[in-house]
Structure 1
Amino acid sequence: METTTVELLRIGQVSDQSQLPVKTIRFYEERGLIQAASRTSGGFRLFEPSVLTRLSFIKRSQALGLSLNDIQDILKIADTGQRPCQNVRHKFQEKIVEIENRISQLEKLKEQLKTLMQDADQTETLEAEICPLIEHA
C-alpha cells in the first residue's frame, strides 16, 4: 500500500506564494477562513498546499465586494461538501442592490457639488468663518 505525503508549507511560503502578508494569513486563520494543518515543534504554522486555492478564492471574493463574513458563510457550506453557488447568487444580488443604492447616493452628491460649483462666484462673497462654499451649502 503506497501512501503519498503532502509537503506542508510554512506560513512564510504561503505568504510568498499567495502574495498575502503573513499578518493577513494569521488573521484569516483566527477568523476560521483557513486552517493550519499542524505546527512545528517551534510553533510555526504549517499549511497544506490546498490553502493556496482557498486564499485565492478569498482574495477573488473580496475583489467582487464580498465581506469576510460573506466569504466565511460560503466556505462553511463548501466545507460540508456542498456547492455554495445558491448562497453566492443571493450574496451577489444583495451586493448589486447595495451598489445601485450607492450609485444613486453618489449621483445626488455629484449634482449637489455641481450646483455648489455653479454658485461658487456668488457664494464666495458671503460672510463665513472658514469657507462659504461649505458653510452656506
Structure 2
Amino acid sequence: MLAQEERKQIGAIAKESGIPIKTIRYYEELGLLESSGRTEGGFRLFTTDVLNRLSFIKRSQGLGLSLSEIKEFLSIHDQGELPCDHVKVKFQDKIAEVNRQIQQLLTLQSNLESLLVGEQIISEFSEIICPIIEVGKVKKSTQQDIIPSSRRSSSKWGKTNVKTIETIQS
C-alpha cells in the first residue's frame, strides 16, 4: 500500500507560499490548482506539490505571462509533457512585443522632449491653452512668426528650434 501524501490546509499553503488564501481559491477556480479534498470543517486541503505549482505560477507572472497562458503550460505538464517548446515560442512573442513597446516609448519620449523645447518658443500666444501640448497647432511657422523680435537675435533661438516645431506637426 502506498503511503498517503501529506496534505495541508489552505492556510498553511498560503503561509508557506506567501500567496493569499483568496488568490489560491481563485487559482483553483481557474483550474490552475486542484485541491485534494476538504476537512470536516470545510477547509480545502492541498498536497504539498501545490507549492511547486504556486511557485511556477508566481514566477511565470513575473515574466509577463497571463494566467491563461500559465494554465496552458500547466495543462501540458499535467499530461506528462514538458511545456518548454511552447514556453520558448511564447517568450519569443513576448520579446517582440516588448521591443514594439520600447519603440513606442522611445517615440513618446522624443515627442515629449521636443514639446518641451518648443514650449518656450510659443509661450506668448494668448489663444493657446497650453503651448506644450498645443505646439502642433502652429502651422509651418517661421522663426519671425514664433519668436518675438526682442529674442530673434539670440543664438538660443536658432533654426533648430523652429525645425523641431515643424517636425512635431508631421
TM-score (norm 1): 0.90
Output the CA distance in 2 between the equivalents of 1:123 and 1:13: 64
* Other-structure match for 1:21: 20
User: Residue 115 of structure 2 aligns to which amino acid in structure 1?
Assistant: L
Shift of 1:6: 2.3
Output the CA distance in 1 between the equivalents of 2:31 and 2:98: 28
Output the CA distance in 2 between the equivalents of 1:42 and 1:136: 67
What aligned pairs does 1:1-137 form with structure 2 within 5 A after superposition? 1=1, 3-126=2-125, 127-129=127-129, 131-137=130-136
User: Residue 98 of structure 1 aligns to which amino acid in structure 2?
Assistant: E
Q: Determine which structure has more spread, i.e. the larger CA radius of gyration.
A: 2
Change (3 A) 1:45 1:120: same
Shift of 1:136: 4.1
Residues 115 and 135 in structure 2, CA contact (< 8 A), matched pair in contact too: no
Output the CA distance in 1 between the equivalents of 2:42 and 2:122: 65
Structure 1 unaligned blocks of 5 or more: none
What is the alpha-carbon root mean square deviation over aligned residues? 1.5
User: Residue 4 of structure 2 aligns to which amino acid in structure 1?
Assistant: T
Shift of 1:5: 2.4
Output the CA distance in 2 between the equivalents of 1:25 and 1:99: 29
Q: Could you report, residue by residue, the CA deviation over 1:100-128 in whole angstroms, capped at 9, with x for unpaired residues?
A: 11111101101001101111213443334
Output the CA distance in 1 between the equivalents of 2:18 and 2:131: 47
Change (3 A) 1:125 1:23: farther
Specify the SS of the correspondent of 1:5: coil
Shift of 1:8: 1.1
User: Residue 133 of structure 1 aligns to which amino acid in structure 2?
Assistant: I
Structure 2 unaligned blocks of 5 or more: 137-170
Shift of 1:135: 4.1
Output the CA distance in 2 between the equivalents of 1:40 and 1:87: 37
Q: Could you report, residue by residue, the CA deviation over 1:55-85 in whole angstroms, capped at 9, with x for unpaired residues?
A: 0001111111111111111011000001111
Output the CA distance in 1 between the equivalents of 2:41 and 2:114: 64
Output the CA distance in 1 between the equivalents of 2:11 and 2:32: 18
Figure out how many residues of one structure are paired with residues of the other and give that number: 135
How many percent identity over aligned positions? 47
